[in-house]
A and B are shown apart, each in its own frame.
Chain A
Amino acid sequence: MPTAEDLQAVLLTLRLASTVTALLLLIGTPIAWWLARTKSWFKGPVGAIVSLPLVLPPTVIGFYMLLAMGPWGAIGKLFNALGWGALPFTFTGIVVASVIYSMPFVVQPIQNAFEAMGDRPIEAAATLGASPLAAFFSVALPLARPGFVTAAILGFAHTIGEFGVVLMIGGNIPGKTRLISVQIYDHVEAMEYGRAHWLAGGMLLFSFLVLLALYSRRKERIDV
């Protein structure tokens, strides 16, 4: 049976994934909107930067995050100056890292949805007298809804599956940075295969169900 520690890791992981998904929908939507509609020269570089985590090993992100968040790094200095305390080995620290790590999984589906929608609905709204902001909220957002659902599912699922970055900057603290993936790793290293099975099997089932939901949904709606 899973122990209290295992359950703590599960709850912590869910809390991390929810926080990161919410933040990413807030941060990712304007980025996706801009990427979908801009003709700027910056579109290529910004799109590439957002997508970097798809390609980079988690160790690269973990390494640079650790240095950046440390007392001599830019983010670390900023947080110290603002009196917010140190980021490494804290829940806030792994939230910041996960937002960066899961960014492409949220931005790309939303961007695709905005691009598929095209300019015409927004132009039509403008002709009918809607302000750009009103057009965005009453026309663009509802039309791109399937993209948002995909983005939320992928962002949530990807954050749950995070391991490398958290191992490097998390410090494995129970209730703060010891996620399910880290807990499984510890169980395996300590030869506690029984306990590892509970969590690992659970993750397998969960991941399958998430993807099943995603792909079944995609069959019904081919427009994203």
Chain B
Amino acid sequence: MSFIKFLVAGLLVTFASLAPAQAAEKVTLAAAADLKFAMDEIAVAFREAHPGDEVEVVYGSSGKFHTQIQQGAPFDIFFSADVGFAHELKAAGQAITEPKLYAIGRIVLWSATRDASKMTLADLADPTIQKIAIANPQHAPYGKRAEEALRAVGLWDTLQSKLVFGENIAQTAQYAQSGAADIGIIALSLAVNQELASKGGYALIPADKHSPLEQAYVVTKHGEGNALASAFAAYMETADARHIMTRYGFVLPNETAAK
């Protein structure tokens, strides 16, 4: 009965892998989707500085992580795209540190099917643009700012029928990248990534058209006592990490202005 043997072998392997991993420390980060490329690089740099330790990064919408951490999700640090979510977690007793500002995000117009580099929000009324991708304003901070910017130029109502909503800012970028949406309002940090930069230019949306995308992180209750979590938080302040963030178009907060 080779099948039974196979089954038993499979079960043994499964049990063996359940045994606790040895020694090395591990930190799990929940990061807003706009950090996708920047945080990947920072994690690589951090691993080089901490050989043997493990860093795991999960990307998604800040609203989703906020909900999941409230329900006890096993993330050690939460990098929110909106300081508001970080404050709420702190207030709910789910964070053990004060929200720490780590970057100011920017939104841009980006398209894979046309040159967006000279475009402005007003050009979105162009009838040849049929689908505009934005992140879901209900729970994605970048979507909220896109809505604010469109409202600021008085186009929110007229463009309603053209809007499609990504679950987070990375999916929104992917809607535009696949050409399924004619244009997207996405994070600058994603538009400058090689994948997207090689396909099309971007146009910055003036920062005065929306409230600032103040991004903050907190160490969660789950990360309490995890030395590697504190080490990673400290690493965000290093020149290396800050250099990577700047390269992805993030404006770094003035240390004194941080709260």
What is A's interface to B at a CB cutoff of 8 Å?
Answer: 66-67, 69-72, 85-86, 88-89, 167-169, 171-173, 185-186, 188-191
Contacts and interface: CB of A to CB of B under 8 A. Distances in A.
Contacts of B130: 85-86
Nearest to A170: B164
B138 A171 contact: no
A189 B139 contact: yes
B61 A189 contact: yes
A188 B67 contact: yes
B163 interface: yes
A53 B164 CA distance: 26
B181 A89 contact: yes
Main secondary structure of the interface of A (DSSP, over half): loop
Interface in B168-189: 171, 175, 178-181
Contacts of B131: 86, 88-89, 171
A173 B163 CA distance: 7
A67 B175 CA distance: 10
B178 A171 contact: no
Interface string B27-68: 000000000000000000000000000000000010110110
Given A86-B130, A172-B136, A172-B167, A70 B67 contact: no
Contacts of B63: 189-191
B165 interface: yes
B97 interface: no
Contacts of A185: 167
Contacts of A172: 136, 164-167
B193 interface: no
Most chain A CB atoms below 10 A, which of B131, B165, B166, B181 = B165
A186 B67 CA distance: 11
Contacts of B70: 191
Contacts of A169: 180
A173 B180 contact: no
A190 B64 CA distance: 8
B229 interface: no
B138 A189 contact: yes
A163 B3 CA distance: 36
Contacts of B181: 88-89, 171
Contact of B164 (A85, A89, A190): A89
Given A70-B180, A89-B180, A188-B67, 8 more contacts: A88-B164, A88-B178, A171-B131, A171-B165, A171-B166, A172-B167, A173-B165, A191-B66
Contacts of A171: 131, 133, 164-166, 175, 181
Given A89-B131, A167-B167, A169-B180, A186 B138 contact: yes
A186 B138 CA distance: 7
A181 B139 CA distance: 16
B113 interface: yes
A200 to B, nearest CB: 14
Nearest to A185: B167
Given A172-B164, A172-B167, A173-B165, A86 B66 contact: no
Contacts of A173: 163-165
Contacts of B166: 171-172
A79 B70 CA distance: 45
Given A171-B131, A189-B139, A67 B178 contact: yes
B110 to A, nearest CB: 16
Contacts of A186: 136, 138-139
Nearest to B66: A191
A69 B164 CA distance: 15
